[in-house]
Amino acid sequence: MSASPTTVASLAAMKARGERIAVLTCYDATFARLLDEAGVEVMLVGDSLGMVLQGHPTTVPVTLDQMVYHTACVTRGSSRALVVADLPFMSYATPERALESASRLMQEGGAQMVKLEGGEPYLDTVRQLVAQGAPVCAHLGLQPQSVNQLGGYRFQGRDHASAERIRHDALAMQDAGASLLVLECVPQALAGEIARTLTIPVIGIGAGAECDGQVLVLQDMLGLNPGRAPRFSRDFTVAGGSVRGAVDAYVVAVREGSFPSAPEIAY
């Protein structure tokens, strides 16, 4: 683990060296300090806070003001990890609105990168964000903000047509200037193929063990999910024995490639 701050360039260098990238969601300064000390490369201020902190059934109700607030909390506790903030539902409906939203997350919240869900319809948005100096993380596969359209949290890319669409969108997002890609709930073979094809790092969640890194929702990783935990998750407090131990165990497991293991790979 390097003591130097994580940057877009250092993440790309990790991929080139074949070093796996450890990512966790984070929503406050206390956990930000803990994750930073444990060596997590990327902290994702996810709109998942709508579910794990606010108690909503989806991420849709989360507002931009709330994302700015939590991003600022995280950046105050972080000195080394790269902080990525989600653009919440409808905050990037047009390129102009995306620029305004990203400006707030980066200027007021201190984020170093913004993340958006979706493929081809958002290529121009990504180009304009990058042109203005805002690094972008793309998010393909299961897109939680579209849960009402999808009819639930369902695995994506299991048929030929949807797999081809994800492949196409992944390459298109890279070409548009995205610096990072999250693949959620897609088959391991598809995720691995995309990770090997792209030059930018690919971070998986429920996408098997062949990505360049892994991300989990912090509360899932700590076994704090009040409902049924996602199949692709793991309660790292079992191995770690404490909150700090769980984070350390997660980072080691991602680094050495022992997470996700076969039981945690759905497809």
Angle at 208 between CA 20 and CA 254, to 5 degrees: 30
Residue 86 labelled as part of a binding site = yes
Q: Which residues are catalytic?
A: 184
Residue 115 labelled as part of a binding site = yes
User: Cα separation of 73 and 76, whole Å?
Assistant: 5
- Residue whose tokens read 């989360």: 62
Beta bridge partners of 43: 24, 83
Where are the alpha helices (H) located in 39-146, listed in sequence order?
49-52, 64-77, 95-107, 123-131
Residue 220 labelled as part of a binding site = no
Residue 48 labelled as part of a binding site = yes
Cis, bond preceding 57 (omega within 30 deg of 0):
no
User: Cα separation of 20 and 202, whole Å?
Assistant: 10
Asked whether 92 and 116 are in contact (CB, 8 A), the reply is yes
Asked whether 69 and 47 are in contact (CB, 8 A), the reply is no
Structure tokens at 208: 């098997």
Residue of 218, 177, 174, 176 lying closest to 194 (CA atoms): 174
User: Cα separation of 12 and 200, whole Å?
Assistant: 6
Q: Is 205 helix (H, G, I), strand (E, B) or coil?
A: strand
Asked whether 211 and 182 are in contact (CB, 8 A), the reply is no
Structure tokens at 257: 């490639």
User: Cα separation of 92 and 212, whole Å?
Assistant: 27
* Residue numbers belonging to the annotated binding site for Mg(2+): 47, 86, 117
* Residue numbers belonging to the annotated binding site: 47-48, 86, 115, 117
* Residue numbers belonging to the annotated binding site for 3-methyl-2-oxobutanoate: 47-48, 86, 115
